[in-house]
Amino acid sequence: MKIDFLQFDFSYLITLISGGACWQGVKFIYPDIKNYFEKRRKAKQILYASMDLAIKSSDELFGKLESLSREDFASFINKDNSISDSPEHNQIYVYYLIGQFWATLENIRIQSNYTSIARLKKGRELIRFIETIESRKFRLLDRSKQRIIGEAMIINSGDKFQVMPLYFFFEKIKSDETFRNWIREIDIQFQLSKKTNIRQRILVYGVIVAMFLDHFDSENKISRRRDIYLIKLRPESIQLIKNILLKHYLSFIKNPKRYYTK
């Protein structure tokens, strides 16, 4: 049989060839596509399974720091003026809330090693928050100390993640000298809060916690929306928040004026 090349529809042949080529290409890259979406799915699982506890712990911590700001840290530096019935008990509770917050962030680091959640926009923003909280300019303690305390507060990790209960925390401080010494690192900072620069550092740290809440729970489904204690912040702290924190560390924050405009 002779083919009349003048009458032959080459578009049909091209379609067959290109279609086959496309199929071969799809077969070649399909495992990579499947792997990409599978990794994103796992990243979302890690992120969202951990965020509820992180938001709850940060809500409790900011509430306590806001309360301390109203009493000008009297529970630590002027117990007679404390609004707490038991300033000593209040002090330990503050340490617990800080350790609890660090534990929730440390669990995210352990579970994801950051590489998986970095695939997601919210994951990258969460990593940026953690980096800020651990940065020399804003952290309460040395990065390694914050991580050690966070790890020490974790009873179970992974799917069974659980932070040490408050009662256990009080008992462990009494019975475990090593644990008590690590918690004393937080205690030293708060006992020095009579110094303006230390107190302001703690208050700025609290503002970062408030940003964390506003960003990851913008509709306040888990947390309670509170005012920022701007009246307690000195001008240099306001400038630090405005010109360094919001411009260079957490530039993606919406409504930045909430954190420095009275």
What distance in Å separates the CA atoms of residue 231 and residue 30, rounded to the nearest whole number? 57
- Per-residue pLDDT, averaged over 149-177, amounts to 90
What distance in Å separates the CA atoms of residue 199 and residue 204, rounded to the nearest whole number? 9
Q: How confident is the model at residue 58 (pLDDT cuts 50, 70, 90)?
A: very high
Helix (H, G, I), strand (E, B) or coil at 106: helix
CB 57 within 8 A of CB 163: yes
- Please provide the average confidence, as pLDDT, over all residues in the chain: 87
Other C-beta atoms closer than 10 Å to the C-beta of 115 total 11
**Alpha carbons within 13 A on the beta-carbon side of 49:** 18
Q: How confident is the model at residue 260 (pLDDT cuts 50, 70, 90)?
A: very high
Q: How confident is the model at residue 161 (pLDDT cuts 50, 70, 90)?
A: confident
Q: How confident is the model at residue 13 (pLDDT cuts 50, 70, 90)?
A: very low
Residue bearing the bigger pLDDT, 26 or 133: 133
Q: How confident is the model at residue 113 (pLDDT cuts 50, 70, 90)?
A: confident
**Dihedral pair phi/psi, residue 143, rounded to 5°:** -50, -45
Other C-beta atoms closer than 10 Å to the C-beta of 71 total 17
Residue bearing the bigger pLDDT, 117 or 135: 135
Give the pLDDT score at 160: 76
**Through-space distance between the first and last CA atoms of the chain, rounded to whole angstroms:** 90
Residue 177 burial class via C-beta count within 10 angstroms: exposed 0-12, middle 13-18, buried 19 and up: exposed
Give the pLDDT score at 194: 94
Sign of CA dihedral 102, 108, 109, 111: positive
- Would you say residue 6 has pLDDT above 60? no
Residue bearing the bigger pLDDT, 22 or 81: 81
Q: How confident is the model at residue 25 (pLDDT cuts 50, 70, 90)?
A: low
CB 117 within 8 A of CB 123: yes
Other C-beta atoms closer than 10 Å to the C-beta of 70 total 13
Q: What is the largest CA-CA distance in the chain?
A: 109
Tell me what percent of the residues of the chain surpass a pLDDT of 90: 71
